[in-house]
Amino acid sequence: MKNVYKQYIKKRYKPKRNEIVCEFYFEPRKKAREAAGAIAAESSTGTWTTLSTMQLKRMAKFGAKVFELKKNKVKIAYPLDLFELGNMPQIYSSIAGNIFGMKEIKNLRLVDVYFPAKLTKSFKGPQFGLQGVRKILGVKKRPLCGTIVKPKLGLTSKEHAKVAYESWIGGLDIVKDDENLTSQPFNKFKQRARQTIKLKKKAEKETGEKKIYMCNVTAETNEMLKRAKFLKSLGNEYAMVDILTAGWSGLQSLRNELQKLKLVIHGHRAMHAAFTRNPKHGIKMSVIAKTARLIGVDQLHIGTAVGKMAEDKKAVLENIAALKNKMSGIKRTFPVCSGGLQPAHVPKLVKYFGHDIIIQAGGGVHGHPKGTKAGARAMRQAIDAVMKKISLKKYIKKHNELRLAIKKWGYK
Ligand code: CAP
Ligand code: MG
């Protein structure tokens, strides 16, 4: 083994409570010990050769330590001083940076990270969290239900606002922009926000229910902050952001601003599957979920197991655990199930993941044979049926919108 890496292998080392601990799945190109040592070196203080600037012993002393190495699993402890508290970009540049590209490694996947209390306290966490969102909506128990205005792109601001209004009148709690709708020539941000929030207030008056609009502020960071301020000036309660394309730095800036503005953050995870999907290489979605919660998203997409995206039930449960497990006083983030859903999915979603989920359907609302309002009604009817413990087969007898949705898309 290259002796530069050997120094980072400390099999009898016991991680200190205030160290970051990472677990990786890895496939060495040649020798496992060399590869594991290379991961620890490259993600902390080392490089491929000895240096004239520092003794190897000292580099390894405060470098990362491989303390567990079993077949394809390696666990590494990192002294906290290697990281800047409150700086997520730097943390990822260490534990999820160069190492994925090293020749010593055939495959590498970051599967879990333990953040010590001293580090978690340097981040804000969710401002409202799961309970805070329920309080804003005044919905204590049932899953929240929402839609994404479809088509993703192409509607004018006026048409967009109308689709949103129909969704709220039909009974949905939440309407969100799609992940790639920001401020295009056919649907400018300010115009859309003004018109949609105006109709949101109209829908609240007509239904007597609190309604939520998650307007997508994703843009260059300063522009995101301006858009968030604009939403606040219109009396909106939320801002939506694509957390990965905006990046950890943008998300942190937005979280800081929304602390002042008291706006709820809805996190979309567009692009995640570029590196979360491969079971052998990249970063597990549950690690992204834990990170997004630490920075402070109040709601986050985490998959459905039953819809159009690839995650299975086990993966979704791990993502939900990352959002809800105890994490030194950090509030829980609301799990969002979305992607290829329609009313007939609701029973299985609740059976698998419980009531503390937000169920969102785009095509499954706006593709309803009788249009958006009926599609919204059908989603709400499916949730009501599950809360009353009545089968959908029975419920459709007296709920026509749900019957027509199931006639078109079938039971699941
Ligand atoms: C769903 C959606 C969401 C996906 C994202 C879409 O629309 O708006 O972005 O749910 O996936 O654009 O596909 P449909 P995930 O309801 O029409 O499928 O939630 O897995 O991050
Ligand atoms: Mg979408």
pLDDT at 2: 57
Summary mean pLDDT of the chain? 97
pLDDT at 239: 98
| Threshold 0.85, pTM exceeds | yes
Task: Answer whether residue 231 shows pLDDT above 60.
Answer: yes
Q: How far is the CA of 174 from the centre of ligand 2 (A)?
A: 14
The ranges assigned to domains in the chain are 3-120, 129-409
Q: How confident is the model at residue 57 (pLDDT cuts 50, 70, 90)?
A: confident
For the segment 248-271, the average pLDDT, to the nearest whole number, is 98
Q: How confident is the model at residue 58 (pLDDT cuts 50, 70, 90)?
A: confident
Q: Determine which one of 176, 266, 268, 368 is catalytic.
A: 268
Q: How far is the CA of 44 from the centre of ligand 1 (A)?
A: 37
Task: Answer whether residue 341 shows pLDDT above 70.
Answer: yes
* Closest ligand to the CA of 269: 1
Q: How far is the CA of 262 from the centre of ligand 2 (A)?
A: 25
Q: Which CATH number fits domain 3-120: 3.20.20.70, 3.30.470.10, 3.30.70.150, 3.40.190.10?
A: 3.30.70.150
**What is the SS3 assignment for the chain?**
CCHHHHCCECCCCCCCCCCEEEEEEEEECCCHHHHHHHHHHHCCCCCCCCCCCCCHHHHHHCCCEEEEEECCEEEEEECHHHCCCCCHHHHHHHHCCHHHHCCCEEEEEEEEEECCHHHHCCCCCCCCHHHHHHHHHCCCCCCEEEEECCCCCCCCHHHHHHHHHHHHHCCCCEEECCCCCCCECCECHHHHHHHHHHHHHHHHHHHCCCCEEECECCCCHHHHHHHHHHHHHCCCCEEEEEHHHHHHHHHHHHHHHHHHHCCEEEEECCCCHHHHCCCCCEECHHHHHHHHHHHCCCEEECCCCCCCCCCCHHHHHHHHHHHHCCCCCCCCCEEEEECCCCHHHHHHHHHHHCCCCEEECCHHHHCCCCCHHHHHHHHHHHHHHHHCCCCHHHHCCCCHHHHHHHHHHCCC
Phi and psi at residue 105, in whole multiples of 5°?
-115, 130
Phi and psi at residue 268, in whole multiples of 5°?
-100, 150
The tokens for 205 are 């008056």
Question: Rounded CA gap, 299 and 293, in Å?
Answer: 8
Residue 362 CB–ligand 1 contact under 6 Å: yes
Residues surrounding ion ligand 2 at CB below 5 Å: 178-179
Percent of the chain with pLDDT over 90: 94
pLDDT tens, residue by residue, 177-209: 999 999 999 999 999 999 999 999 999 999 999
Task: Answer whether residue 49 shows pLDDT above 60.
Answer: yes
Task: Answer whether residue 301 shows pLDDT above 70.
Answer: yes
Is CATH 3.20.20.110 what the domain over 129-409 is classified as, yes or no? Answer: yes
